[in-house]
Amino acid sequence: MRLSDAETYEKYAGELVRFATGLVGPDDAADVVADAFVRVLGSASWPDVDKQRAYLYRTVLNEVRMRHRSTMRRRARELRAFDREAVVEIEVRPQVLEAMSVLSTQQRAAVILTYWEDLTPGEVAGRLGVSQGSVRRHLARGRSKLREVLHD
Amino acid sequence: MIDRLDREIRSMVVELIEASPAPHPAHKALRSKSGPAAPLSLRSGLVRMLAGAAVVLVVGLAGVWVGRNLVPVDTAEIPIVKGGETELTGAPQDLTELDESHPAIRLPAQGATDRESFAEAASEQELQFVCAAGGEDPSWELCLVAHEGVLAVVPFESIEGLVARVTDSDLTQDVLVPLDTDRPIGIRNTGPLASVDIEYVDGTVVGSMSAPWSPSREGS
């Protein structure tokens, strides 16, 4: 039995917001997911989608890519805000946001799904609709970049 | 080293993810479809693309059609005559194709030289312009040009004036320009129907015409 739009949202929104938080930070995550849902549910192909979860993850990833520029600007504003104010509301150290900002969107997605959900590269590949080799590359490059940032 | 890096990354990711906000309520998130447009299926995209291309094509063709059929408002059909050489803008070059049965032919053919006759001919035959041609050569001619083609060729020395009919989309007016047959004359269109100078080749201005095309004499 197929879920209604609202039921689908209730079922997946939480984990997608966490995924989106890893990609764009906490400020925009909920908006990204809401926009992704609106996009997906309005799609003519959505009723025929079998693997809805993976489809939603990919849509969130695409949504993030489209928002990349504005997100970068917003992140810069966040970082500036952190310099002036206590880190109370968002509860993320600026160093963390800064470190994640050196990664590309794809690298961030691979890192988040690997380290947060403990997915194997094969599982990440299935979730994002890319090849396993691509996931391994993104993960390796992401780790390399993070090593530079964290150990500098 | 790798374990340490993994621990640091995991710690960082956990810190980031734990700051995740709650999702928007479903009724709020799904309330508006005015968000980003839904992705199109390949078929829908192609249909839209083709429809867009068709609209552009139709509008373009319509623009071309309108452009070709509009009466040019700012185009004066006045020949440019300089230094004894005639450029009959838009006029037929073959003067042998005269319609001798045309009433207007009678006038110049009979040697009518007065300005009223020319004005009448111009008026009756809807001449677009009358042009002078020639130079020092006594074979100077005056061409009466109508929509249909050249109506008559008149020896230049037998006339005493030029009658020019200037036509644009909504105004037609005959203009008589007195002529000194001892001096070559030219009609120069100095702009897109805004002004026409009539002058001798030596530069002396006979007169000028400007909208609404009444002649005014200048110089001598």
What is the percent of chain B with per-residue pLDDT over 70, rounded to a whole number? 26
Q: Distance between CA A107 and CA A137 in Å, rounded? A: 9
| Residue A42 or B192, more confident | A42
Query: From residue A117, how far is each of A18, A98, A128, A134, B17 by CA, in Å?
Result: 10, 22, 13, 18, 11
Q: Report pLDDT for B25.
A: 84
Q: How far is A3 from chain B (nearest CA, A)?
A: 14
Q: Report pLDDT for B137.
A: 38
Interface list for B 170-209 with A (CB within 8 A): none
| Residue B186 or A109, more confident | A109
Mean pLDDT for B94-119 is 37
Q: Please tell me the least confidently modeled range out of B48-57, B121-130, B175-184.
A: B121-130
| Inter-residue contact B135 to B83 (CB < 8 Å) | yes
| Inter-residue contact B12 to A96 (CB < 8 Å) | yes
Q: How far is A96 from chain B (nearest CA, A)?
A: 6
Q: Report pLDDT for A5.
A: 80
Burial A105-122 (b: 16+ CB within 10 A, else e): bbbbbbbbbbbbbebebe
| Inter-residue contact B219 to B204 (CB < 8 Å) | yes
Mean pLDDT for B89-93 is 33
The ipTM (two decimal places) reads: 0.77
On the question of pLDDT at A118 being above 60, the answer is yes
> Per the confidence metrics, is the pTM higher than 0.80?
no
Residue A26 neighbours by CB under 8 Å, 6+ apart: A90, A92, B16, B19, B20, B21
Interface list for B 4-33 with A (CB within 8 A): 5-6, 8-10, 12-24, 26-30, 32-33
